[in-house]
A and B are shown apart, each in its own frame.
Chain A
């Protein structure tokens, strides 16, 4: 854990709620963030729960019975083609690398979710951390006023553990805004409400002065208790309150107020929780948050795959492409790596309900932005889409490649809850060198 980073005196001034301009408190503007020589990279995970039909998006099979009705379109990168419902992303193709050789063996939602999000299959009592916790721990500043890991509308039902900090402990837990759902994302004004930090705002019935006064009382109680009860749990309690109060009072927390953005920008991202989540991700990365995940559900298309895909691609295309545009304009795309994936792909064979079923054997994941050699597709599947041709890419391979793009040594270890050190990514991983810039 992080023992109190703030001295007691700092805590008192924070708690006193005077809003003193302590150094490091002001939000870093995007330009400063980009120019900051100390800046480490950021990572944005676009998590597609349910298992997206990548054969209809990134690795089409035109002319084959498995191909379905969608057409390929050309992109800004010569020779690289996407599905026809991703036209806006096609314009960013030079910054996008499609990994077409994913082969992951696990076709159960819960286990595959855990696998892709932690790099490990569930294993006895070991609580593997989600990749967000692992990477934000490496990239983040433990004393930063904003949390280092923000998760936007996760749908955690399949596997709670896959979304948590596991053995890294609560200091590496995500700050979660908006619970996701299995089906279509919330649209319209609902997303504004959902994307707020739960309980961040002080309730209206408690005035500023009253809140200050309450913190003063709390500080006195806690100081008294702490004085003769030196103890970790007490320190963790204080630390969480420090950070919570800091977040409440921070100017950075304004990142969560999307109404600061113009109507034009907000419309461009798409008025749904995923699109607005991408906008939030941009606002957080601008303020130096190293890991943000944005979730989009509804991909479990056992029936009517193509209708659902067309709709979901529209949502994905607007949110993601606008995110890349905005990051690029701000000079942040170079230092922000984006990874797009779900827990598996879907069967090349189209079933009788015009759907596709779970298929971990051969599917695509996507890497984009900083540290990635874009404009290419890595790996290849057979003409019918059922097998990977040549070397397959495993889950550890993909995650190690992401680490490499972010400048993280994937072989570094953390101590686990069972006492044995565990690497960020398993040592069997092979970095895909062709994809890393």
Chain B
């Protein structure tokens, strides 16, 4: 695989080549960033932003200034259908049902976008989907490694409970970083209900202080320091000792140390295969003030989630931005360095401060981001200056997770999984499909494999659902009320969540009317349905 820079170069080249004709291509633009103090309003003087709407407007101001400073022409706003599909995939993890599409498109209220956003956050599907998203982020091992897959359901259940009760994010993270470590043996024999705790976090990290510390640093500080585990970091100023100072806070996740009564032992760690013992120390170089009533992990978690911590809120705000745009304001999201400055520093500051001011409420930031103009831009490229995704001048195109793809296929085809609920984590159509289509790549660079394409083209699931006897399709072909063109509309609405364009209506409409190769309009509809489900527009979030 090419390095990220080169990958983007490919896109940029293709992007410009494919851009709307007639546009002059200038020399490669130099990115101009506006320092935070010269931003629309200095942070210290600014009043707290109390509503998502206010924050959305602030986001818009920052981006407009950034586009202007860099001569970027942003793409126009997405139309209702495009935005509605995107909101459903991002917030509920699946495309909208036909009814949802129609209702939204027919709604004449100018405030309908805001209303729809408010509505979607209240649906049970939001907790379900966003719980999966956080699990995918926090427990990537359970996606990759079959050994840990069984831990996903209970961890997701725990997260959903936290989200449902609106537990502030700092509290959720504190609970994760101080999760139980005591086990009889290393597997399932947990004392208590595993769904009540995030113990799986320690388990997927194999109860190793260095693994837990790497993940804690990466996920919650946005600092990837695992290279420093073995040697001083070659490109960033992290020393090997710094890594082990951090790992020392987590010494007690090791079952053998957890039971040691000497508190000092829990505050230090021996670097493996050396005799060196390292004392716990904060990442900013300060020595902790120990409190006998607090475990070292609690001490670390308190430091991390303090309001003046320079990493926690900033990283979380950046991750939320990256969730919706596929690209962070700092990107890669966990490699802060002089070579990787924020694309729009003032915007990142704004989001960070709003996150802190509003009690570390993820949903507050999410509600604001999806209301922003940047989020609501079309994903079509209408000007070459939009090619670089770091300008956020058109919506980035994201791959779907295995879960999103399967749930969208089910939504489009009316498929109902008959596997009993309690067995679903361990088998059944959805799980098999999800495993085949899951990966932990960056969503803007998600690649498809030959086997995945074959499964979509020839696999039993799609073939059955696109036969004229398929659950959804049978209702369409058998309907006496609709004309062939109306039936075609239904297929587009079910899959791409939009009506066909005029050229599409011509091309596919006449195909259906003529009945395709077998001169059978029903079979021709099935052909169109198959092509829609296999299309790249269907399998991407745009």
| A9 in the interface (beta carbon within 8 A) | no
Return A249 CB to nearest CB of chain B, in Å.
Answer: 12
Could you count the A-B residue pairs with CB atoms below 8 Å apart for me: how many are there?
215
- A218 near B531 with CB under 8 A, answer yes
Chain A 195-251 interface residues, beta-carbon cutoff 8 Å to B: 197-203, 205-207, 209-210, 212-214, 217-218, 220-222, 224-241, 243-245, 247-248
- Among A163-171, A255-263, A303-311, A376-384, the one that faces the other chain is A163-171
Interface 1/0 per residue, B498-510 and A, CB below 8 Å: 0001011001100
The chain A residue with its CB closest to the CB of B446 is A233
In angstroms, Cα B215 to Cα A156, docked, is: 25
Q: Which chain A positions have C-beta within 8 A of B532?
A: 221
Q: Name B445's contact: one of A201, A207, A233 (CB within 8 Å).
A: A233
Interface 1/0 per residue, B509-527 and A, CB below 8 Å: 0010000111000010001
Contacts A170-B439, A221-B535, A237-B539 given; does A210 touch B226 at CB 8 Å: no
Q: Which chain B positions have C-beta within 8 A of A414?
A: 1
Q: Which chain B positions have C-beta within 8 A of A238?
A: 536
Main secondary structure of the interface of B (DSSP, over half): helix
- B379 near A229 with CB under 8 A, answer yes
Q: Which chain A positions have C-beta within 8 A of B440?
A: 127, 417
- B455 near A199 with CB under 8 A, answer yes
- B1 near A240 with CB under 8 A, answer no
Contacts A1-B7, A169-B1, A170-B439 given; does A229 touch B381 at CB 8 Å: yes
- B540 near A124 with CB under 8 A, answer no
| B72 in the interface (beta carbon within 8 A) | no
| A175 in the interface (beta carbon within 8 A) | yes
Task: Sort chain B's interface into a size bin.
Answer: 35 or more
- B10 near A232 with CB under 8 A, answer yes
Q: Name A125's contact: one of B11, B218, B399, B451 (CB within 8 Å).
A: B218
Return B528 CB to nearest CB of chain A, in Å.
Answer: 6
In angstroms, Cα B335 to Cα A417, docked, is: 12
| A327 in the interface (beta carbon within 8 A) | no
Q: Which chain B positions have C-beta within 8 A of A127?
A: 144, 440
Q: Name B381's contact: one of A176, A228, A247 (CB within 8 Å).
A: A228
- B448 near A240 with CB under 8 A, answer yes
- A231 near B397 with CB under 8 A, answer yes
Q: Which chain A positions have C-beta within 8 A of B227?
A: 418, 420
- B527 near A229 with CB under 8 A, answer no
Contacts A125-B140, A127-B440, A213-B517 given; does A230 touch B451 at CB 8 Å: no
Interface 1/0 per residue, A83-123 and B, CB below 8 Å: 00000000000000000000000000010000000000001
- Among B12-20, B122-130, B285-293, the one that faces the other chain is B12-20
| B261 in the interface (beta carbon within 8 A) | no
In angstroms, Cα B210 to Cα A366, docked, is: 35
Return A16 CB to nearest CB of chain B, in Å.
Answer: 13
Q: Name B450's contact: one of A175, A212, A221, A226 (CB within 8 Å).
A: A175
Return B421 CB to nearest CB of chain A, in Å.
Answer: 24
- Among B42-50, B174-182, B343-351, B457-465, the one that faces the other chain is B457-465
Chain A 146-198 interface residues, beta-carbon cutoff 8 Å to B: 147, 156-161, 164, 167-173, 175-176, 197-198
| A35 in the interface (beta carbon within 8 A) | no
In angstroms, Cα B436 to Cα A175, docked, is: 12
| B165 in the interface (beta carbon within 8 A) | no
- B463 near A234 with CB under 8 A, answer no
In angstroms, Cα B455 to Cα A121, docked, is: 32
- A234 near B536 with CB under 8 A, answer yes
Q: Name B441's contact: one of A169, A213, A243, A245 (CB within 8 Å).
A: A169
| B454 in the interface (beta carbon within 8 A) | yes
Given contacts A1-B445, A210-B518, A226-B18, 12 further A-B contacts (CB under 8 A): A123-B226, A124-B214, A164-B144, A171-B449, A202-B457, A214-B530, A225-B536, A230-B15, A231-B11, A233-B446, A238-B536, A419-B224
The 6 closest A-B pairs by CB, nearest first: A240-B448, A217-B531, A244-B453, A170-B447, A199-B454, A124-B226
Binding site for B on A (CB under 8 A): 1, 3, 110, 123-127, 147, 156-161, 164, 167-173, 175-176, 197-203, 205-207, 209-210, 212-214, 217-218, 220-222, 224-241, 243-245, 247-248, 414-415, 417-420
